[in-house]
Amino acid sequence: MKRFNYKAKDKETGKIIKGSIQADSERAAGKLLIEQGYIPSTVEEEGANNPLVHIKGRVKAKDRIVFTRQLATLIGAGLPLAASLRTVTDQTQEKGMKEIAEEIIAAVESGKSLYEAFSAHPKIFNGVYLALIRAGETSGTLDIALKRLADQEEKDAAMMSKIKGALVYPAIIFVVIIAVLAFMMIMVVPQVAQLYDDMGEELPALTQFLVNTTNFFGQFWWLITIVVVGAIVGSVYFVKNTHTGRMVMDSFKLHAPIFGKMFQKLYVSRFARTAEMMLATGVPMIDSITISVNAVSNSVVEAEYSKALALIKAGKPLGESLSDLKYMLPLVYQMSSIGEESGKIDEMLGKAAGVYEEELENQINNISTMIEPILMVAMAGMIGVVIGGTLLPIYSLVNSVSA
């Protein structure tokens, strides 16, 4: 769908207005303006005479959440869909979200469903979002579906923020360790070496190792920089742009010391919570599980969970289909079986997700406590080696001079 700039006369007031509108073609744009009560005089495709490419602003998760929640509130209050969209768009301040919202309005006003309008922006609205929109429109519970989306996205954003925060602390400690070691190697070790040289004494083995290391880094810093930067850029490209790279990184997340169990609970709770939303909104079982698997966002886990789909299609119950999966935790398939027997499978999945979300939150809060002793020991060991190679030789020299 293209954007057109127009100049038109309002039939009722006679005023000349200017604006932009979304349509498939210039003729469709003119027809849409006429239907809205305007007499178009000029309709031109935006950017047709401009060689520069129009780039939309980024849409942050926070802006999407606010947009979704406001839209749910207005629709729930009984306001028509188009009017609700227009009101929310007028209140939106962020450029990126506002541009997307205007395109959604244009699509809806041209006769498309809300699902079709959102589907035109798959990078902004993922499969979970689109599936719930479609289910909400079909069942007449669009406001409820939107509210569930906003609630879940807020939970996901808060959880990811906590996980990133838990990872920041070890990173800061690691940087401090490197900075202290660099200071000792650059400022202290050369002075000790010079002192031994002036006195004609032979350096101890540990001190000589530190001197050699310092000299190597000083002489080949440019080569080391190239290798380190190349390794980082290559690793990022490998992980982001190759299937093998994504599999390696996703597997590492699941098996990393301390963090592995944390990520496993994150993926399990995300799967269960998404399945709960899908089923509660009326999405069929197969579609619900398919979308929930894709919502996990870990290629290794997705490949494992996808095995359950074949079993469900073959007629097996959900609980039994999930029970043999490698990265599935017991409470999910146990609660699924209970839900299937009681007819409240969505509610049971929600309870299982809640349990693992609470455990995950507690684990994140305890990560600093678990990691701190390990980091302190590592830092003490590395700094101890440097101190041993600098202060002990000085102490030995003092003793030899005193003797």
Among 86, 119, 153, the domain-final residue is: 153
> First vs last Cα of the chain: how many Å apart?
90
d(CA 97, CA 252) in angstroms, rounded, equals 34
4 phi/psi in degrees, rounded to 5: -120, 135
Whose tokens are 């190697």? That residue is 185
Tell me which H or E stretch contains 45. Answer: strand 38-45
Q: Are residues 35 and 72 in the same domain?
A: no
Measure the CA–CA gap between 125 and 122, rounded to whole angstroms: 5
Cα separation, 15 vs 38, whole angstroms? 10
Helix axes 205-219, 345-402, angle to 10 degrees: 110
pTM for the predicted model, two decimal places = 0.67
In this predicted structure, what is the pLDDT of residue 401?
A: 58
Q: Are residues 40 and 70 in the same domain?
A: no
pLDDT score of 368: 67
Asked whether residue 73 falls in the same domain as residue 105, the answer is yes
The verdict on 30 and 66 lying in the same domain is no
Closest C-alpha among 1, 53, 52, 51 to residue 26: 1
Distant-in-sequence, close-in-space partners of 239: CB < 8 Å, separation ≥ 6:
245, 246, 248, 249
CA angle, 190 then 194 then 195, to 5°: 120
What is the structure's pLDDT at 14? 67
38 and 117 housed in the same domain: no
Residue 109 maps to a domain:
yes
Place of tokens 């050699």: 212
* Spatial CB neighbours of 53, under 8 Å, sequence gap ≥ 6: 47
In a domain, 92, yes or no: yes
Helix (H) or strand (E) holding 281: none
Same domain, 272 and 347: yes
Which residue's structure tokens are 């925060």?
165
Nearest to 271 by CA among 298, 311, 239, 231: 298
Check which CATH number belongs to the domain holding 303 and give it: 1.20.81.30
> Which tokens belong to 224?
């080391």
Which domain range does residue 20 map to? 2-45
- b/e per residue, 203-227, with b = 16+ CB within 10 A? bbeebeebbeebeeeeeeeeeeeee
Element (H, E) at 18: strand 16-23
Does 174 fall in a domain?
no
Which phi and psi angles does 273 have, rounded to 5°?
A: -65, -40
Confidence (pLDDT) at 53: 38
In a domain, 210, yes or no: no
Mean pLDDT, consecutive 10-residue stretches, the chain (403 aa), reads 73 74 72 74 62 53 87 87 88 85 86 86 82 82 85 81 77 81 79 76 77 83 90 90 88 86 88 87 85 86 89 88 88 90 89 89 78 77 76 69 54
What's CA 163's distance to the chain center, in Å? 11
Biggest CA-to-CA distance, the chain: 108
Closest CA to 108 of 75, 141, 144: 75
Boundary-marking domain end, from 153, 171, 200: 153
Dihedrals φ, ψ of 45, to 5°?
Answer: -65, 130
User: Who's near 284: CB < 8 A, 6+ residues apart?
Assistant: none
How long a stretch of residues is the chain?
403
Q: Which residue, of 95, 122, 153, is where some domain finishes?
A: 153
Q: Evaluate whether 20 touches 3 at the Cβ level (below 8 Å).
A: yes
Residues 27 and 80 in one domain: no
Task: Tell whether 232 is covered by a domain.
Answer: no
> Which residue, 13, 10, 25, 143, is CA-closest to 81?
143
- Note whether residue 28 is domain-resident: yes
In a domain, 268, yes or no: yes
- Using CA atoms, how far apart are residues 335 and 356, in angstroms rounded to an integer? 12
Residue 106 falls within a domain, yes or no? yes
Q: How far is CA 89 from CA 6, 101, 204, 366, in A?
A: 20, 6, 72, 41
- Measured N-to-C along each axis, helices 285-295 and 299-313 cross at an angle, to the nearest 10 degrees, of 170
Count: domains in the chain: 3
Q: Are 102 and 117 in contact (CB under 8 A)?
A: no
